Amino acid sequence: NAGVTQTPKFRVLKTGQSMTLLCAQDMNHEYMYWYRQDPGMGLRLIHYSVGEGTTAKGEVPDGYNVSRLKKQNFLLGLESAAPSQTSVYFCASLGQGNTEAFFGQGTRLTVV
C-alpha cells in the first residue's frame, strides 16, 4: 500500500538549473495535483490533472510545467529554478467520485 510516492524527498538546486519532481500513485486515481507550501501561506495549487494526457493551471503555475503521460504518474518540472521556488512541494491524488485526497510526504526543494 504505497499510496502516493514523491521522488526525491530533498533537493538543493542552483539558480538556473532544471529538475523534475515525480509523483506516483498506485490507487488508479483520475485526479492528481501539485501544491507548494510556504510559511504563512498554506498550500497553493500549482497545476492539476483530471486524467491521463490532461493538465491544467492552478493558482500559482508560473515557472512550472507538468505532464501526465501515464495515469499513475504526474511530473512537475522546473526549467530554470529561481530562489522564489524554494518551498515544500506536495503531490495529491483523488479518485473519481471520492471525497478524500491522498497526499505524498512532500519534497523539500531549496534553490540557492
Partner 1 sequence: AQSVTQPDIHITVSEGASLELRCNYSYGATPYLFWYVQSPGQGLQLLLKYFSGDTLVQGIKGFEAEFKRSQSSFNLRKPSVHWSDAAEYFCAVGSTGGGNKLTFGTGTQLKVEL
Residue 110 as a binder of partner 1 (CB under 8 A): the answer is no
Q: Would you count residue 94 as binding partner 1 (CB under 8 A)? A: yes
Contact 74, 34 (CB under 8 A): yes
| The residue to which cell 529554478 is assigned | 81
Tell whether residue 67 is a contact of partner 1 (CB under 8 A).
no
Q: Which is nearer to partner 1, 35 or 64 (CB)?
A: 35
CB of 10 or CB of 14, closer to partner 1? 10
Using an 8 Å Cβ cutoff, are 55 and 65 in contact? no
| 13 binding partner 1? (CB under 8 A) | no
- Does the protein bind partner 1 through residue 90 (CB under 8 A)? yes
Q: Nearest Cα to 35, choosing from 11, 72, 64?
A: 64
All residues at 6 or more sequence positions from 112 whose CB lies less than 8 Å from its CB, including other chains:
12, 13, 14, 15, 83
3-state class (DSSP) for residue 17 = coil
Indicate the residue among 13 and 32 with the shorter CB distance to partner 1.
32
Q: Which residues bind partner 1 (CB under 8 A)?
A: 31, 33, 35, 40-45, 48, 50, 56, 58, 90, 92, 94, 99-101, 103-106
